[in-house]
Every structure is written in C-alpha cells, then in structure tokens.
Amino acid sequence: MLRLLARRLLGAIPTLFVVVTATFFLIRLAPGGPFDHDQGLLPEIHANFERAYGLDQPILVQYGRYLGGLLRGDFGPSFKYRDFTVTELIGAGLPISLGLGLTAIVCATLAGVLLGIAGALSHRHWADLGIRAFAVLGVAVPSFVIAPLLALAFGVYLGWVPVAGWEPGTLRDALLPVAALALPVAAFVARLMRGSLLEVLGSNFIRSARARGLSQWRIVVHHALRPALLPVVSYLGPATAAVLAGSLVVETIFGIPGMGRYLVQGAINRDYTLVMGMVIVFACLTLLFNLLVDLLYGWLDPRVRIAGTQR
C-alpha cells in the first residue's frame, strides 16, 4: 500500500511539471500583458513595472525563476491585486472552496448511494421510478442551472435562505451552494449505484447467500454493498472535477469569496502568476483526488490491490 502510494505520488510530479510548463508558455503566447489595462501609462513607467516584476527578462529566465519560486512554495506576486501575493490569495480562498466542495461531494455520495440502494431494492416499484426520474433529471440539470433556480425558489419566493452572501461559519449561507454543487453528482451516483447493485444482486454468490437463508438486509449490507460500490468510487474522480468546475459558477452566483472567481478574472486581466497558481492548485486537487480514489478502490476490491503490488 505504501509503495503504491509513493509510486503514485512520484508519478504525479511529471504530470504537474507538464501542466506548469504548458500553462506558463501558453499564457505568454497570448496577446496582451498584465499592465495594458492601466490607462495612460507612460512607456517609461510601463517599462518600470515590467522590470519590477521581472517581465523584461528573457522568457526562459522568467520560467526558471518561476520554477525556482515554486520549489520554495512561492507562487509570486499577483499583478492585479497589487498588495497580495498569489499564495495569500489562494490561502484566503482555498479553505472556503475546499470546504464547500468536500461537503458537496460527501453529501452527494451519501445521498446518491442511499437513493441508489433504495431504488434497486424497490425495483419496478413507484419509488424506483421516482429515483430514476431524479437520476435522469440530475444529469440534465447542471450546477449553473440549479444554482439560480434554487436561489429563485428558496431565496426570492420562499425567503428561507439568503439569495447570496457569505458570512464565515454560517450554515444558512452554505446551504444553497452545497445543494447546487451536490445535486448533479448525487443524481449520477444514484444512477450508478442502482445499476450496479441490481447487477450484483443478480449474481451467483448472492443467490447462494439467499439459499443459505440470510436476510435481505444482511445480504445487501454484508455481501452486495462492497462490490456494488466500485463504479461509484471510480466515478468520484470525475465527480471532483465536476464539483471544482461547478464551484467556478456557484461561487459567482452566490457571491462566495472562494478562489473560483480568480481563474476567469485572472485570465482576463493577464494576471500571469494568479492564473498559474490557480491552474496548479486545481491540478494538484484533481491529482490528489484521483489518487485517493485509487487507494479507496484498492481497499474495496482486493484484485486491484494484488495487481498493484505485483507490478
């Protein structure tokens, strides 16, 4: 297990390196620069700005410096938010985004798995139909549609929760954003879980468990659940990506000071270091989650574990 972990962590380094390099040069290729929006800058002052941020150096030197900074954990200064370093901006936004995202994923997985089990056990019953309808609707209703609709229904018409706004630590403010992020994922998980549990329940070892006279409850919890969870677990990787992308939209709609807004704003402002920092953080999160998913997968499915250690 530890060797697998170490190997995967080492394997992530080249991927991250490719991400850093590709983003760095792509941003520089794009037309425009970080100080073009300042009105009426004298050429001398513009040049001074560039010198202050090291932008007058050859691009390879800048690249080397940036990599050097990264190794020390320094993302550099933001070009637009002049008094902040990118590390500070990320430090302020990441906990909020991460908190929302993790809550959404945990809620979505729990709700999805429970609904999926309920659907599979009430196969062809009206409850099953309802759960299937929910699953299909969830696939068709993305976060950026749910978020404003939820705000309209619960914020504007019913007035139960604030339409937007954020006070740290208040549950009411987090309710709608988490729901908007979680619903599409929950729907997909419910669909996967229902399908795979039905398949597992039809397999031979379940039939023999039935023949041994085990109760339905015991069969589901002790025998069927673990293999049936596998597709759900492998979907958690893409689900993380979906929640991260959804957070860009959901944070804008609900006015949450996470880090989602920095990516688009940073790219529009040509805030090179901020965009780099955001892409790196998102890449790390995605890689980390994929790794966690693989470990979880190995824990659930012994065949994967053995194949992993033999290699």
Which residues in this chain contact another protein in the complex, by CB under 8 A? Answer: 15, 18-19, 23, 26-27, 29-31, 136-137, 139-142, 144-145, 147-149, 151-152, 156, 163, 191, 195, 198-199, 241, 244-245, 248-249, 252-253, 263-264, 267-268, 270, 275, 278-279, 282-283, 285-287, 290
C-alpha distances in Å from residue 182, one per residue of 77, 93, 114, 141, 290: 34, 20, 14, 12, 18
Please name the residue that has the structure tokens 């068709």. Answer: 140
Instruction: Decide whether 127 or 198 has the Cβ nearer to another protein.
Output: 198
Name residues whose C-beta falls within 8 Å of residue 256's C-beta, 6 or more positions apart in sequence: 96, 97, 100, 166, 173, 177, 250
Instruction: Decide whether 47 or 154 has the Cβ nearer to another protein.
Output: 154
Provide the minimum distance between the beta carbon of 108 and another protein in the complex, in angstroms, as a whole number: 18
Provide the minimum distance between the beta carbon of 167 and another protein in the complex, in angstroms, as a whole number: 21
Instruction: Decide whether 47 or 94 has the Cβ nearer to another protein.
Output: 94
List the one residue out of 24, 11, 15, 14 whose CA is nearest residue 67.
24
Which bin fits 125, alpha (ψ -120 to 50), beta or left (φ > 0)? Answer: beta
Instruction: Decide whether 239 or 249 has the Cβ nearer to another protein.
Output: 249
Provide the minimum distance between the beta carbon of 102 and another protein in the complex, in angstroms, as a whole number: 16
- Please, is 245 exposed, middle or buried when counting C-beta atoms within 10 Å of its C-beta (0-12, 13-18, 19+)? middle
By three-state DSSP, how is residue 77 classified? strand
**Separation of alpha carbons 181 and 78, rounded Å:** 29
Instruction: Decide whether 28 or 47 has the Cβ nearer to another protein.
Output: 28
Instruction: Decide whether 182 or 187 has the Cβ nearer to another protein.
Output: 187
Instruction: Decide whether 131 or 253 has the Cβ nearer to another protein.
Output: 253
Provide the minimum distance between the beta carbon of 212 and another protein in the complex, in angstroms, as a whole number: 26
Name residues whose C-beta falls within 8 Å of residue 295's C-beta, 6 or more positions apart in sequence: 1, 4, 5
Contact 123, 242 (CB under 8 A): no
Provide the minimum distance between the beta carbon of 165 and another protein in the complex, in angstroms, as a whole number: 14
φ, ψ dihedrals at 57, nearest 5°: -75, 160
DSSP letter at 40 equals: T
Provide the minimum distance between the beta carbon of 30 and another protein in the complex, in angstroms, as a whole number: 3
Provide the minimum distance between the beta carbon of 263 and another protein in the complex, in angstroms, as a whole number: 6
Token pair in block for residue 8? 């995967």
Token pair in block for residue 76? 């550099």
